[in-house]
Amino acid sequence: MQTVLVIEDDQNTAALVTLYLEREGFRTLTAGDGPAGLALARRHQPNLVILDLMLPEMDGWEVCRRLRQASDVPVIMLTARGEEIDRVAGLTLGADDYVVKPFSPRELMARVKAILRRTSRLPDQHPTELVHQDIELNLEKRRLRVKNETIPLTPHEHALLEALMAAPGRTFTRDELLDRLYPQGEAVVIERVVDVHIGKLRQKIEPDPGHPRHILTARGIGYRFADPSEPEEPAT
């Protein structure tokens, strides 16, 4: 049984979300503030976290940042703040989705299931590892190693890096990469979401993120992973 941790200080909202989660067969954990939520996350290692942005003691931004330091657990931010700048900020911190209150519980459940589908790969359906120079992406264990150092990835970062590394030299449009992030079309598409995740990936795998050598930009189109069989070209 998969476990979902709900970090929400509003008791009515927390009760509604846990009710729907349990109806769908999930085990639930609840916390009313950030420190309690982080403690539960460390103790129980949930499969997904639903995180309210406006929390007492420690806000959702800081909770998300600390979760990301410790693990790659998927995070759905739940908040009344729907401005694009807030959504981009949440994604930059490592959130996997962003749901604005008031929300439909059924839509939230659809997003939970969609994210968990992406993070529950059957290992015999794909190669187990993608390797490029000193970058090793283990698909079965969902683990990235760069220069023999393990680097945590969010589910969205993993999906993008897998798509790019599996087809070196191929240019993916932003729409194609959005389809990798949201294959069921379940998320509200936010302008720049692909660029946000690519920027985070470059910080993790590039020796100099400002002059990338692995994930290259195809101006006006999208991105591609460097093909080792081609001569090196100026970074973009």
Q: Could you give the domains of the chain?
A: 3-118 (3.40.50.2300), 123-225 (1.10.10.10)
Of 134, 190, 158, which Cα lies nearest the Cα of 72? 158
* pLDDT digits 0-9 by tens, 136-182: 998 878 889 999 899 999 888 999 999 999 888 889 998 888 888 87
195-210: average pLDDT? 94
Show Cβ contacts of residue 83 under 8 Å, excluding neighbours closer than 6 positions: none
At 69, the amino acid letter reads Q
User: Can you give the pLDDT at residue 183?
Assistant: 65
Residue-wise pLDDT tens digits, 83-129: 556 666 666 777 888 888 888 999 999 999 988 887 764 334 445 78
Q: How confident is the model at residue 222 (pLDDT cuts 50, 70, 90)?
A: very high
Rg (CA), the chain: 18
Highest mean pLDDT among 19-23, 52-56, 117-121, 188-192: 19-23
Question: What token pair was written down for 161?
Answer: 């890096």
Q: What is the pLDDT of residue 93?
A: 72
> What is the model's pLDDT at position 193?
86
What is the pTM assigned to this prediction? 0.57
pLDDT of residue 235: 47
> What per-residue confidence (pLDDT) applies to 123?
39
Mean pLDDT for 52-73 is 89
Average pLDDT value over all residues in the chain: 85
Summarize the confidence of residues 60-82 as an average pLDDT.
Answer: 86
Residue-wise pLDDT for 123-148, tens only, equals 344 457 888 888 999 887 888 999 98
Residue 24 has pLDDT above 80, yes or no: yes
Which pLDDT score, from 0 to 100, does residue 10 have?
93
pLDDT at 87: 63
Section 48-77 average pLDDT: 90
What pLDDT, on the 0 to 100 scale, is given for residue 109? 94
- Three-state secondary structure string covering the chain: CCEEEEECCCHHHHHHHHHHHHHCCCEEEEECCHHHHHHHHHHHCCCEEEEECCCCCCCHHHHHHHHHHHCCCCEEEEECCCCHHHHHHHHHHCCCEEEECCCCHHHHHHHHHHHHHHCCCCHHHCCCEEEECCEEEECCCCEEEECCEEECCCHHHHHHHHHHHHCCCCEEEHHHHHHHHCCCCCCCCCCCHHHHHHHHHHHHHCCCCCCCCCEEEECCCEEEECCCCCCCCCCC
β-pairing, 75-79 vs 48-52, is parallel
Which is more confidently placed, 234 or 9?
Answer: 9
Please tell me which residue, 54 or 232, carries the higher pLDDT value: 54
Number of neighbours of residue 47 by Cβ within 10 angstroms: 19
pLDDT value at residue 125: 44
Residue listed under structure tokens 């998927």: 74
Alpha carbon distance 220, 164 (integer Å): 17
Q: What are phi and psi of 73, to 5 degrees?
A: -60, 135
